[in-house]
Chain A
Amino acid sequence: MDECQSAIPAHDGDLHVVAAAHHIVKALGTTKNLSDDLRKILIDLDAHLSLITSNIDSKGGKGFVEVEERLKRVERKIVIWESDRIMIWDSGPKEASDYLEAVDEVQTLIDSLRGLSMNENQKQKELLHRASSLLQMAMSRLEEELIHMLVKHKQQSEPTYIPSPSSQRNVVYNESVVSLDNESAKEASSKNSCSDECGEYIVDLVPEHVIPDIKSIAKVMFASDYGQEFCEAFIGVRKEALEQHFDILENGKLSIEDLLKMEWCSLSTEMNKWTWSMKIIFGVYLMSEKRLCDQVLGEFGSVNSFCFLEIAKTTILCLLNFGEAIAMGPQEPEKLLRLLDMYETLADLVIDIDALFSEDGGSFVRLEFHKLLEGLADSVKAAFNAFGVAVSSNGSLYPFPGGGVHPLSKYVMNYISMFPEYCSTLNLLLEDQHSDVASLVSEPQCGPTASLSTSCPMACHLRSITSSLESNLHKKSKLYKDEALQHIFLMNNLHYMVQKVKGSELRPFFGDEWIRKHNAKFQQHEMNYERVTWSSVVLLLKDDNPGSSSLSKSAFKEKCKGFSIAFEEVYKNQTSWCIPDPQLREDLRISTSLKVVHAYRTFLGRNPAHVDDKCIKHAVEDVEKLLFDLFEGSPRSLRNSRRMMKT
């Protein structure tokens, strides 16, 4: 084209050549089965040649007749739509392509008119002016068509916020360590992980078949230097669509001030929503939006990344500010799992974020999210430490009734049984505090023979927490006046800890050595209990004078009475005590029975002469039976039960 322009013939002699060429071009143009590119070239050439002709003509006074004719023709094609209420692209593909062709023609005419030297030619100026006005009309129309198209084809695929598995977990940990005493902690549920469900996938934000239409509008608007208008319109609609999706995810807009004052229960829900929204917004929508921008605008230089940033910015800032508000809030222990969820989500997404905003303009987004990730890491550490502090400092004024499993033990063990799911994250974050804790928890498994799982930072931290729990339980056991009950309490709680470790993902982190050691510990308390409670009772039955064959009647009577009183006392007390684990309860009864019943039977067997109903309040069988009432947690008195037996 440019060469043609420079080769505009200067004198009339060339007119024939030009006319001949024009004729050939026109003839070629009527040929069917031309490729689009070739046809375009011919149209351009045609326009140019006709201009040359008219230019030469004008010198002869005839003016730009043909150009004017062509302008009139396209004018009709364009203006006719102005009075029509129907959108062009809604009318059909033929209408759309005709319109685009007309706009192309206007653009070609303008280019050609501009290409000619302006020798103060009034007609030429006027035609150029008319063509430019026509182009403006068409561009304005195309902008409207674009917006209509984008709005109409906004895809309504809406992954809504699914509160299911996580909300259950909320229930478990909405209570705080501090308010735990004498409250039962509920069983834990499994980790909520929507990442497995939604993952990272790209959706069609605009149906595939509409993309070529949008691109065709982009092409012609950019070619006519209306790229800015295109971008503003495109950004406007897409930004709105993104915000709509964000809104559907139920992210209530909250100020930092509101978030800092929010109750834990609502805050926990908001934190879940954030985690979910981050995954959906970055993993799905922004990925897809980026692809859409690239598809539509990829050919026009860096505008695609500019538009993408403009579309995404406000939504991103909103997510970012929520994260900031959480990271700056007080880090209570109950927040730990939610914080871990947030941290893990963001840690998984940072690579995507870096890729999405790899251009200079987006460096701010990259930086902010990396900063936020650090902030969340600090929050996790702070909450973890707060958890440790809460475990060791949780105090009680009164002994826990019955000596059963304390809520603190339940809370701590259930809570930490969630940790293995966050193992790699916790290992990463607790690494720098590892050495301090590892030396504190001088368990043998931290030594060189330990396996990898028992020596990782999380494992050491876990054992440090359970050892804080143990010392706290020891403190709590001192609240019981009865030494035997102290042992029952410790036995119960240690047994509970061991069971929890054995029956969960915690096992590899604690190791068999820990389990052995703690089995031994609770068994020690079991033995201590028996010793404290029953040794003195059994002692009453002991033969004071092993040399003689049998006791005197009165001595026998005395011993029987003493035994009965002591036994009844124990019975009265210990039926109200509690061993929640049936197996443990059974074991203890059997071993008690072995010891006590055996001693009683031997005692009676040694003095057969004195055995009659008057002396012996309780038969051996009765004692054996009565022992099974112990540790049921329902206080009984023997007077009632004896009466019951007699009747």
Chain B
Amino acid sequence: MTGTDQSSFLGRISIRRNQVNAMEGYHEQEIEDLELFQKQLSDRFAELLSAPDDAPTEAFLSISWIRKLVDVFLCCETECKAILLMERDAAQISKPPLDRLIPELLERVVKAMDICNAVTNGLELVRHCQKLAEIAVSALEQKPFGEGQARRAKKALVSLMSAMHVDDKESSVQKTAERSWSFGRRSGNKDRHHGHYRSLSWQVAKHWSASKQIHAMTMNLAAPRGPEASCLPAPVYILSLIIVFVMWVLIAAIPCQERSGLTTHLPINKHVNWTHSLASIHDKIGEEWKKKEKKGMAGLLYEMQKMEKLGQSLIEFTDSYQFPGEKEKLDEVAAQVAELAEVCRRMDEGLVPLQMLIREAFHRLVRNRTEFLDVLEQGGPVV
């Protein structure tokens, strides 16, 4: 996981390739590299799996957890590419079955780029939720707490809930439109036609669908069998699987365009050691997705889930609040407000870096594609 681990791994491949390139025993060395790589992957996913379900920091599917996941992806991408391309003769990767596997990989890479952009748009929505929650928190923290503040908080929270339950289907564009400020108390002003573009802004493209992209990415994604499992098709499969998996988690966690029908089954080969933790994470998220999908929700992001729960409870409180309120109830609410404030704080700290990280992943995918294409076209080895 750490940088030093990675650089030593890359150094190892580089030195080895230099030394033994034309020698006997090359294949054994490669198998050893691959095993080492898989061992590292296994450790990384085990660490991700070990995150607590509910904790103030570093919880499963929290912003910081997702950042770690994207980090794992970035490391894995670098290492996979090293195994595949470093000091290698292009002839090796342009013969069957790689002549089919690499283009398939690159198609997945392009789809993943669009998903990164969709998720970046989705994070804007999460940030909007954060802003609304912050308003609610600052109202609820007022002392003495009056009905005016209760109404202020409620207004922000109701907007928060509707922003959260944005339906990501294209058909419900108008529903997406309902924003915090279109509360339409004055029915005479109902004819404001805003909101339409708001939903457009988070589109990747018309008719684009995150779930369909994932579906397409899983096509032809099969674990290599027999002798192929220990040579070049293996890292191609690993890289493909990790890309699909990470994109799938991002889509499940963060709001993005058209997620209905998102598959909960990725073709993970469970018969190899390194996928155990990955498969467990997959099952866990898949279960969660099935539970929550029908309700229509903002995504499985820990902070958003937390916000939703706290928001609902606080709306109930503000609904029935009468000045000056009972001390006991006020104390209970104060704890919830503190919790919501903490969620906001973590979003404030984590969302922008996460957005940057996803952007980095995007750029990495772009570079990755270029490098593969260069090798395929020029037929020369990458140094």
Chain A contact residues, CB within 8 Å of chain B: 85-87, 125, 128-129, 132-137, 139-140, 143-144, 147-148, 151, 225, 228-229, 231-233, 236-237, 239-240, 243-244, 247, 252-258, 260, 313-315, 317-318, 321, 324, 328, 364, 368, 371
Contacts and interface: CB of A to CB of B under 8 A. Distances in A.
B200 A140 contact: no
A136 B366 contact: no
A561 B130 CA distance: 102
A239 B155 CA distance: 21
Interface stretch (B21-29, B140-148, B284-292): B140-148
B200 A256 contact: no
B174 interface: no
Nearest to A253: B205
Interface in B267-302: none
A232 B180 contact: yes
A229 B139 CA distance: 11
Contacts of A137: 148, 151
Contacts of B205: 252-255, 258
Interface stretch (B71-79, B183-191, B220-228, B230-238): B183-191
A144 B124 contact: no
Nearest to A125: B144
Given A256-B110, A317-B117, A328-B370, A133 B148 contact: yes
B197 A229 contact: no
A208 B204 CA distance: 35
B197 A244 contact: yes
B149 interface: yes
A232 B121 contact: no
A225 B149 CA distance: 12
B356 A364 contact: yes
Contacts of B128: 232
A143 B152 contact: no
Interface string B169-212: 00000000001111101111100101101101111111010000
18 contacts: A85-B188, A87-B186, A87-B189, A129-B144, A132-B142, A132-B148, A136-B151, A144-B181, A147-B182, A225-B138, A236-B179, A243-B198, A243-B200, A244-B197, A253-B200, A255-B208, A256-B113, A328-B370
Contacts of A228: 131, 134-135, 138
A58 to B, nearest CB: 18
Q: Which of A87, A132, A151, A255 has the most CB of B within 10 A?
A: A255
A147 B138 CA distance: 22
B152 A139 contact: yes
A328 B365 CA distance: 11
B62 interface: no
Given A144-B183, A236-B180, 5 more contacts: A137-B148, A140-B155, A144-B185, A258-B205, A324-B366
A132 B131 contact: no
B90 interface: no
Give the top 9 A-B pairs by smallest Cβ distance, nearest first: A136-B148, A133-B148, A243-B197, A85-B188, A132-B148, A255-B205, A314-B201, A129-B146, A132-B146
Contacts of A143: 181
B208 to A, nearest CB: 5
A85 B187 CA distance: 8
B120 interface: yes
B203 A253 contact: yes
Contacts of B356: 364
A125 B325 CA distance: 13
Nearest to A114: B144
A139 B135 CA distance: 13
B111 interface: yes
Nearest to B216: A257
Interface string B340-364: 0000000000000000100100110
Nearest to B373: A330
Contacts of B121: 314, 317
A318 B182 CA distance: 26
Contacts of B81: none
Interface of B: 110-111, 113-114, 117, 120-121, 124, 128, 131-132, 134-135, 138, 142, 144, 146-149, 151-152, 155-156, 179-183, 185-189, 192, 194-195, 197-198, 200-206, 208, 323-324, 356, 359, 362-363, 366, 369-370
A287 B272 CA distance: 57
B186 A128 contact: no
Contact of A133 (B113, B151, B183): B151
Contacts of A315: 201
B264 to A, nearest CB: 24
A128 to B, nearest CB: 7
Contacts of B148: 129, 132-137
Contact of B111 (A129, A140, A247, A257): A257
B194 A240 contact: yes
Contacts of A328: 366, 369-370
A314 B199 CA distance: 11
A85 B185 CA distance: 9
B38 to A, nearest CB: 30
A125 B143 CA distance: 11
A404 B176 CA distance: 64
A357 B203 CA distance: 24
A275 to B, nearest CB: 20
A151 B201 contact: no
B206 A151 contact: no
Nearest to A324: B366
Contact of A147 (B135, B147, B181, B323): B181
B110 A240 contact: no
B198 A236 contact: yes
Nearest to A86: B188
A167 B324 CA distance: 70
Contacts of A231: 131
A185 to B, nearest CB: 28
A257 B189 CA distance: 41
Contact of B124 (A225, A314, A371): A314
B161 to A, nearest CB: 15
Contact of B181 (A134, A236, A317): A236
Q: Which of B124, B149, B181 has the most CB of A within 10 A?
A: B181
B124 A313 contact: yes
B192 A151 contact: yes
B185 A232 contact: no
A85 B202 CA distance: 33
A233 B201 contact: no
A86 B205 CA distance: 39
Contacts of B179: 236
Nearest to B362: A324
B185 A129 contact: no
Contacts of A243: 197-198, 200-201
Nearest to A139: B152
Given A144-B186, A257-B110, A260-B110, A240 B198 contact: yes
A85 B198 CA distance: 26
Contacts of B187: 85
Contacts of B117: 256, 317, 321
Contacts of B181: 143-144, 147, 232-233, 236-237
A125 B156 CA distance: 25
A646 B186 CA distance: 101
A129 B148 CA distance: 8
A255 B203 CA distance: 9
Nearest to A375: B366
Nearest to B355: A364
Contacts of A236: 179-181, 194, 198
A103 to B, nearest CB: 13
A121 B181 CA distance: 37
Contacts of B185: 144
Contacts of B189: 87, 144, 148
A328 B146 CA distance: 57
B200 to A, nearest CB: 6
A129 B186 CA distance: 25
B293 to A, nearest CB: 24
A129 B359 CA distance: 48
Q: Which of A125, A231, A240, A247 has the most CB of B within 10 A?
A: A240
